[in-house]
Chains A and B, each alone.
Chain A
């Protein structure tokens, strides 16, 4: 996998992680408006990064989450085989 693609995946991982972490917090604090605003910011950022990745390298998610080119989803590297 080339360095640009790895770098983009890393940024997706960071944005996704921030969303996961804020999401867990919001599960027990659903009325925390500041956390909700943070979540929306990172969620937008994640969506932008995912769109960039998808248009360049093909879908990262299946089942209709990304514009689908099934062949490239199937043949893109599996996450335990990136070494």
Chain B
């Protein structure tokens, strides 16, 4: 069950059209290391995790990623709002406009649609958590690339916030990996009502 709160996790107020950045921000909306990919990755992987703490972290971080997906959607919407066809054309968004108008659709900046091929779910906790840590670092790098591409303070401010969250999530996934390794090495016990050793 999820409950919607009619509020962004961090405010977004972009008051002038910036179609060039709208196009680039699509990277975090429908690209390989996007917030959509992050949310789906964690909410999908949690079922096969052997420890309650790790299931909780994947559920809650996956939920926060949905709030980030909404923030990026709001940023793209506000960057496109009021942009003329000529401005969209100049920003390289004419192809996007013909298909989506000012709608906010999950594609990458080159128009490649989002695919679940961007995420993985091996069912192996070590493999999945290692992927999650890499995903957070890739998203952090993408945010830094986006920040290098603009001087617009109204865009930079929410990007600073989102970049920082990737760092925190990386930290939590590192702790999840330690929890799993501790269980496999026999150093700690599994926090799970249906504990079942999967490896010797």
Interface residues of A (CB under 8 A from B): 9-10, 12-13, 16-17, 20-21, 23-25, 27-30, 60-63, 65, 73, 76, 78-80, 82-83
* Set of chain A residues within 8 Å of B175, measured between Cβ atoms: 28-29
Which residues in A have their C-beta under 8 angstroms from that of B60? 20, 23-24, 27
Interface string of B1-16 (1 = CB under 8 A from A): 0011111111111110
**Cβ A83 vs Cβ B15 within 8 A:** yes
Shortest B10–chain A CB gap in Å is: 7
Cross-chain contact of B3 among A10, A23, A63 (Cβ < 8 A): A63
Report the minimal beta-carbon distance from B178 to chain A, rounded to whole angstroms: 9
Closest approach, in angstroms, between the C-beta of A73 and any C-beta of chain B? 7
Q: Is there an interface contact between B9 and A24, defined as CB atoms closer than 8 Å? A: no
Report the contact-size class of chain B (Cβ under 8 Å from the partner): 20 to 34
Main SS of chain B's interface residues?
helix
Given contacts A28-B179, A60-B5, A65-B3, contact A80 B53 (CB under 8 A): no
Contact flag A25-B172 (CB < 8 Å), given A79-B70, A80-B74, A83-B13: yes
Q: CB of B28 within 8 A of chain A?
A: no
Q: How far is the CB of B65 from chain A (nearest CB, A)?
A: 12
Quick one: given A79-B74, A82-B13, are A60 and B7 in contact (CB under 8 Å)? yes
Q: Which residue of A has the minimal Cβ distance to B8?
A: A79
Shortest Cβ distance from B6 into A: residue: A60
